[in-house]
Structure 1
Amino acid sequence: MVASLVARSFTRSATMTASRGFATSAVAGRDLVQEAYLRELKAYKPPAKSADAHKGQVRDFHAPSPPKAPEAPSSSSLSSQLEAYASSEPDHADAPAASSSSESSSAAAGGSAFLEEARADYPKEEAHH
């Protein structure tokens, strides 16, 4: 019986403190910093700008001059240019040098000699059973 009285008193005190913990007051709900910030934000007036404030920041636009049409060459200048091209020799810059004549002879022998040398470098594979 004593245990039941202790248990009842314990549950009563627990419920009373729990109910007190959830109570709120109007004073705790106010945020003084937020109210001061909003008040200052509403009272802010930006400084007035003069009408010539953009003068140093923006350049005046000037459209570029239109391009000139290329001149059409005359038929006599075209024919002389074609004759000069036909009579010119082709460039021999891509021709092999005389010192690499041994390389060019091995290239002429074909790719089979190269493949045989490459196969000789690898070890022979034994048949797997």
Structure 2
Amino acid sequence: MPVTLKCHKGIGPAVTGTALVATDNFSARYDLDRVKGVFSRKAHRLYGQSYVGKILVLETAKGGVASAWMLREMAARGMAPLAILFDHANTILAQGAAFADLAMVDRFEKGRPSELIRTGDELRVEPAKGRVTVLNRDA
């Protein structure tokens, strides 16, 4: 049975895909191998996992201005996540998501997204409506 989660209205197109979740932060510059499409920082909880075409669910964004253009570059090469869901986003990642035309939402009403969503969940992210629907849950 689908479960609807309300959040702040976000950026980008509505998308459907599989969640990749960690109680960790996110930097496009320092956490990713943008050529191979995997998390490359050994200390990151998603180390070695592919983020390409996944809906990333993380605590918050970190890093500076480079993250914005890196998201755009990754999207242009087809090596970007499908969407990014944060507990709290920062303005630089919001700008990067808009520049890359990636779906991004944050500030969930009923708790932290990394606690409400599990890796493998199939999600429908609708930024303009401020809504994320867990369509089905991976056992």
TM-score by length of 2: 0.13
Query: Which structure: greater helix fraction?
Result: 1
Between the two structures, name the one with larger relative contact order (CA 8 Å, sep ≥ 6).
2
Higher strand share: 2
Instruction: Select the structure of larger CA radius of gyration.
Output: 1
